[in-house]
Amino acid sequence: MKAPQRLQPLIDEGLVDAVVRQLMSGKEAMVYVVRCGDETRCAKVYKEADKRGFRQAVDYTENRRVKNSREARAMAKGTRFGRKVTEAIWQSAEVDALYRLAAAGVRVPAPHDFFEGVLLMDLVTDADGDAAPRLSDVDFSPQEALRHHAGLLREVVRMLCAGIVHGDLSEFNVLLAEDGPVVIDLPQAVDAAGNNHAQRMLLRDVGNLRDFFGRFAPALLRTRYGEEIWHLYERGMLRPETELTGRFEPDTRPVDLREVLREVNDARMEEATARRLRVRTPRQ
């Protein structure tokens, strides 16, 4: 097919040899099958902000850093330059997450290059070598649903151990490759420790998987994997090899307000002492 305008710079640079066909048009990007030497890959062409169905909600962009204060001011004012910076950060978030997760052993498409707003990565294929379908397009037996659900929970745990929450995980953002599910679409990924909404997003991601696979294996609908995973993560007890049970009992014991106030007062006293020492210490 004729190369779309956005892919022509990659052809000029020798990163892409030919565009085979359009694979899909999503809420945030157009995806094409391309030839790169002897390899068949996919090229994800990000849509401009005003043409995207997925908005950059502040929940997702919280704590994403910029290079300097000029960029931060421009983003806050919403200037043309600021919008350009915001868009670049949004796109690079997926690139950064893919490299980070691939290094952690998470089943994501291996990234190869990012140039002029286009992400080159592996094409995920099925047993016949064709583009793999989304989970939403496949029916499962109860046994298959349980197996794939367990596999994806392991990926969620690996992601969280790598410090990342997908943020928009569902049956529409997972491809069923020949050797199992592969997680895709990560521009909305958030830092688990640095985003105040990470817990809610993790619970929603796991809940989406539960609800989808629960259509085929209803026993999953009674599980509480999301709460269990986050509980272990908060306490520093989560590992990629952690065996999950799907059970979670919240701590309903009453809060000891006296103990809380005691800890607050102790912290204040320690800070006051440290402040006095700083004041007394002569500058060198």
Q: What is the model's pLDDT at position 73? A: 56
In a domain, 168, yes or no: yes
Q: What is the model's pLDDT at position 171? A: 97
The domain of 170 spans 5-234
In a domain, 271, yes or no: no
In a domain, 177, yes or no: yes
Residue that is written with structure tokens 């007394």 in the block: 280
Q: What is the model's pLDDT at position 192? A: 94
Q: What is the model's pLDDT at position 277? A: 64
- CATH at residue 213: 1.10.510.10
Q: What is the model's pLDDT at position 266? A: 72
Could you write out the three-class secondary structure of 164-208? EECCCCCCCCEEEECCEEEECCCCCCEECCCCCCHHHHHHHHHHH
Q: What is the model's pLDDT at position 75? A: 45
What CA–CA distances, in Å, run from 14 to 45, 84, 108, 211, 276? 17, 26, 25, 44, 63
User: Is 205 marked active-site?
Assistant: no
Q: What is the model's pLDDT at position 187? A: 85
In a domain, 116, yes or no: yes
In a domain, 244, yes or no: no
Q: What is the model's pLDDT at position 116? A: 86
- Give the active site residue among 38, 59, 185, 256: 185
Q: How many domains is the chain partitioned into structurally?
A: 1
Q: What are phi and psi of 132, to 5 degrees?
A: -65, 145
Q: What is the model's pLDDT at position 56? A: 45
In a domain, 249, yes or no: no
Q: What is the model's pLDDT at position 258? A: 73
- Give the active site residue among 168, 191, 211, 251: 168
For the chain, 284 residues long, give each residue's pLDDT as a single digit of tens.
888 999 999 999 999 999 999 998 877 889 999 999 999 999 999 887 654 444 445 444 445 454 555 544 544 555 665 555 556 666 778 889 999 999 999 999 999 999 988 999 999 999 999 999 999 999 999 999 999 999 999 999 999 999 999 999 999 999 999 999 999 999 889 999 989 999 999 999 999 999 999 999 999 999 999 999 999 999 999 999 999 999 998 766 665 667 657 766 776 777 677 666 655 555 45
In a domain, 268, yes or no: no
User: Is 113 marked active-site?
Assistant: no
In a domain, 62, yes or no: yes
